[in-house]
């Protein structure tokens, strides 16, 4: 079976500031992957390359065995098929939500893919039920709470049932209840056969949501392994700025240190 994605010595820069700097990795179809790294490590940029929003300046990204390039995506049939297979949920749902109502938001993807009106309505109803936003269908997405916006963004991507789901910091800025619901959803992906790639620096959730992790630092992969292996490597977590030391001073003047993982 072809890998879902393979990145080979990928470079990408914003205004000559490197975001990806010789990054290489391979993700098999059906894997649940966590991309770990501090802010600025390249996680979000990599997701945008995997979603063909950006393209490698040097190196290659292969999707399902074929090169993902600007030239390749000029082919309408190939681009159409790729958009059916891969969906991205952004960290900030306000970037993603732009339609006048929640119904229109969820219907947008199927509409772009040329589905019939009855199929679109049935798919929107099913996705709205799955993510518990059916009572919001006539509301403006921008008048919703953060958790509701996240659920609408997920519904708008999953309505087309993509083979690959890309998520950028899916628990960022969510309250504890919404965070728990998001983690429950990601756990439920375990037996779906879908490839799920989650960029996060919340180490508290990775054993639940991932089978394999890649640790990014300065735009390249510096380690990979199971969640348990990564969490056990304290030196790695410190080098990658995923953990830090808190020093406590007691009333008698003595100090001691605790290691804390970055959790949000």
Q: What gap in Å lies between CA 89 and CA 204, rounded to an integer?
A: 20
Tell me the residue range of the domain where 160 lies. Answer: 5-261
Please enumerate in sequence order all residues whose Cβ is within 8 A of that of 259, keeping only pairs 6 or more positions apart, or say none.
Answer: 234, 238, 243, 244, 245, 246
pTM score over 0.85 = yes
In angstroms, what CA-CA distances link 198 with 87, 111, 124, 134, 212?
12, 26, 24, 26, 11
pLDDT score of 178: 86
CATH number for the domain spanning 35: value is 3.40.50.300
| pLDDT band (50, 70, 90) for residue 146 | confident
- Rounded to the nearest 5 percent, the helix, strand and coil shares of the chain are 40, 30, 30
In the predicted structure, residue 42 carries a pLDDT above the cut 70: yes
Q: Over the stretch 91-141, which tens digit does the pLDDT of each residue have? A: 998 888 899 999 999 999 999 889 999 999 999 999 999 999 999 999 999
Q: What gap in Å lies between CA 37 and CA 191, rounded to an integer?
A: 26
Helix 146-158 with 176-188: angle, nearest 10 deg = 20
Max Cα separation, the chain? 74
Q: What gap in Å lies between CA 171 and CA 178, rounded to an integer?
A: 8
Cross-strand bridge partners of residue 224:
214
- The number of folded domains in the chain is 1
Q: Is 30 exposed, middle or buried (0-12, 13-18, 19+ CB in 10 A)?
A: middle
| pLDDT band (50, 70, 90) for residue 208 | very high
pLDDT score of 191: 82
């Amino acid at each position: 079976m072809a890998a879902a994605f393979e990145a080979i010595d990928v470079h990408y820069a914003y205004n000559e500031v490197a975001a990806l700097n010789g990054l290489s990795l391979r993700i098999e179809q059906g894997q649940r992957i966590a991309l770990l790294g501090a802010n600025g490590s390249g996680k979000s940029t990599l997701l945008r390359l995997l979603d063909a929003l950006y393209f490698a300046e040097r190196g290659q990204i292969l999707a399902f065995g074929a090169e993902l390039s600007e030239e390749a995506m000029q082919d309408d049939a190939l681009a159409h098929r790729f958009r059916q297979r891969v969906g991205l949920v952004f960290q900030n749902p306000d970037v993603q939500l732009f339609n006048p109502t929640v119904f229109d938001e969820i219907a947008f993807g199927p509409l772009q893919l040329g589905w019939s009106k009855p199929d679109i309505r049935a798919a929107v109803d099913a996705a709205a039920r799955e993510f518990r936003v059916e009572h919001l269908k006539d509301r403006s997405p921008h008048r919703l709470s953060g958790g509701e916006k996240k659920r609408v963004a997920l519904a708008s991507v999953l309505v087309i049932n993509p083979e690959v789901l890309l998520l950028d910091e899916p628990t960022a800025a969510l309250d504890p209840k919404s965070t728990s619901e998001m983690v429950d959803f990601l756990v439920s992906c375990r037996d779906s056969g879908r490839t799920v790639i989650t960029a996060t620096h919340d180490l508290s959730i990775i054993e639940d949501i991932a089978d394999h992790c890649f640790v990014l630092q300065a735009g390249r992969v510096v380690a990979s392994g199971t969640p348990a292996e990564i969490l056990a490597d304290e030196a790695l977590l410190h080098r990658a700025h995923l953990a830090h030391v808190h020093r406590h001073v007691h009333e008698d003047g003595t100090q001691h240190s605790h290691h804390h993982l970055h959790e949000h």
